[in-house]
Structure 1
Amino acid sequence: MNDTTPPLRTIQRAFEIIDLLMEEKSIGVAELSRRMDLPKSTVHDYLRTLRTMGYVINDDGQYRLGFKLLELGGRMKYRNRLFHVAKPELERLVEKTGELVSVNIEESGRFVVLHMEEGDESLSLGIYPGISIPIHTHAAGKVMLAGFDEEKVDRIIEEKGLEAVTEHTITDSDELKAELEQIREQGFGVDLNQQVVGMGVVAAPIQVKNRVIGSVGVVCPTDRLLDEAFRQGIAQEVQKCANIISVNYQYSP
């Protein structure tokens, strides 16, 4: 089987149900049937199977996701070497900045938060480990793009597009590539209001043997990042953090 082989429809539908349940706190069979354009009996069979496996809970006819998925996500994170290496450095970065900080990876052309730590000054944005967003809308995603070869960057742009999440999001490939070149020159990235209006990000890449494996990002209110001295101070701290993680990842047992 290769990437062009059509997916198994039964498995695809099961995950479509999980995706719909992620959007809602709970939902009934009739509504799921309507949204999936499937008979209620078919939807019920899928739900029954997922409930038997622990992924779905039935609360008086309303279905919701079970915490089995949280267990899976937790295991994935705690088995990840980058998480263990980065966590103490993120804690130190939070102590210095008081802001929301995260270590991030690229997966399937998207930006994914692997782990985050919150400080006293953190914005409340509903960010959580595992959240996935368009990679071009976030400085911590763009510093990873800046470290990828041109062929990979072009492939991500072609497959994922450059959607506008806010009116400030870069949606032109030439403009994005110019920003990536600037990131390479200065060693860090900054964006304002491109993913969330009112939110700014300062980020630096984590590189091991000339390969970008992730990034560190500091999330701040946009108005604080307009102050050049503050912005440069955050940039120095985030670069220092990313460099320490890079070295520790390479040489820790």
Structure 2
Amino acid sequence: MDTPFTVQKRDFIAGLQKGLSVIEAFDQEQSRLSMTEVAQRTGLTRAAARRYLLTLTQLGYVNYDGRMFSLSPRVLRLGQSYFHSARLPRIVYPQVQKLAHALQETSSVGVLDAADVICIAATSAGRTVSPTLQPGSRAPAYCTANGRVLLAALPQERVDAWLDEHPLEPLTPHTVTHKDRLRIEIARARAQGFAVVDQELELGLRTISVPLKNLRGDTVAAMNVSVHATRMTLADLQERCLPALMQVQAQVRNLL
């Protein structure tokens, strides 16, 4: 994972930060927002939110229907710039393809971003088990196998701080929401070198994940295999998919 980097105050452009926060205010639950709602979500004044929204509208990143604002397809340029230029997605995508087609299951690679795991590569091999398993999608780190593997790579003090900072919501009846129990699950992932999550993100979704490390031993991403619970038991998931994941893990290490 990336090393924290601090910019000196004289070099920090607060306006850019605020403009990006306006874009990030829109999500799946709230795809259309009023000026007041954007101000509330970003902590900006209504006047400042108005200026940023109008500027983004002028630039083509935001649409305005006279009452509500929404993101335009041009925002995809920002994400595509990462997928086209970043080295990590280009390296792991062929491996994800080979793994998914060898197992005839869905596989994806994710990286940690604050509370979430962002998918940077995925393929379904003809079996789509969840809409969250596609490039650019986000899922809560605490209830995903990729998320637990990535959290397990953090020093324990950072794990504790992460648990204090982020709420744990019960997305299904199986979701682990007790912080002490989640701390144990993260420690288990660290000790055994992989994580298995059973229907905590979505009912019917079972996932196993391993960390992807570079030659220095730093975890830079996590790779999973996801199956539907009606087709494969947890024991079968581990027995069938873990060896293949570990094989890819070893191959990728020489490339990262």
TM (norm. structure 2) is 0.80
Distance 1:95 1:35, change over 3 A: same
**1:10 offset after TM fit, Å?**
9.8
- The match for 1:241 among 223, 241, 248 is 248
Matching residue of 2:113: 107
Q: Residue in 1 aligned with 2:149?
A: 143
RMSD of the alignment, in Å?
A: 3.1
| Corresponding residue number in structure 1 for 2:219 | 212
- 1:171-186 equivalences under 5 Å are 171-186=177-192
Among 185, 194, 213, the residue aligned to 1:188: 194
CA contact (8 A) 1:215 1:242 kept: no
Aligned in 2, Cα 1:76/1:14: closer, same or farther, shift over 3 Å?
A: closer
Matched, 1:158 2:160: no
Kept in 2, the 8 Å contact 1:139–1:190? The answer is yes
Q: How does 1:12-161 map to 2 (within 5 A)?
A: 12=18, 15-16=21-22, 19-20=25-26, 23=29, 27=32, 32-33=34-35, 35-36=37-38, 45-58=51-64, 63-161=69-167
SS class of match (2:173):
coil
Q: Secondary structure at the match of 1:194?
A: coil
SS in 2 for 1:114: strand
In 2, Cα distance between equivalents of 1:21 and 1:211: 31
Q: Which moved more, 1:95-104 or 1:229-238?
A: 229-238
Question: 2:228 aligns to what?
Answer: 221
The change in CA–CA distance for 1:143 and 1:44 in structure 2 (over 3 A counts) is closer
After TM superposition, give the deviation of residue 57 of structure 1 in Å.
Answer: 2.9
More moved, 57-66 vs 171-180: 57-66
One-letter amino acid of the structure 2 residue matched with residue 32 of structure 1: S
Separation in 2 of the partners of 1:215 and 1:130?
Answer: 15
Tell me how far 1:70 sits from its aligned partner: 0.6
Between the two proteins, what is the percent identity of the paired residues? 21
SS at match of 2:238: helix
Q: For the Cα contact (< 8 Å) 2:34–2:68, is it kept in 1?
A: no
Amino acid at match of 1:240: Q
* Matched length: 242
* Structure 1 residue 35, shift from structure 2 partner: 3.6
Displacement after TM superposition at 1:202 (Å): 0.8
The answer to which of 71-80 and 124-133 deviates more is 124-133
Give the CA deviation at 1:128: 3.1
Q: Quote the Cα distance in structure 1 between the aligned partners of 2:46 and 2:221.
A: 43
Rounded to whole Å, the distance in 1 between the matches of 2:184 and 2:251 is: 28
Aligned-pair CA distance for 1:11: 6.1
Distance 1:239 1:132 in 2: 24
Gaps of 5+ in 1: none
Deviations 1:19-69 (A, max 9, x none): 2376456x4xxx614645799998665443212112013468764322221
Give CA-to-partner distance per residue, 1:139-191, whole Å, 9 cap, x none: 11111122221111111111113332222111223322322333234322111
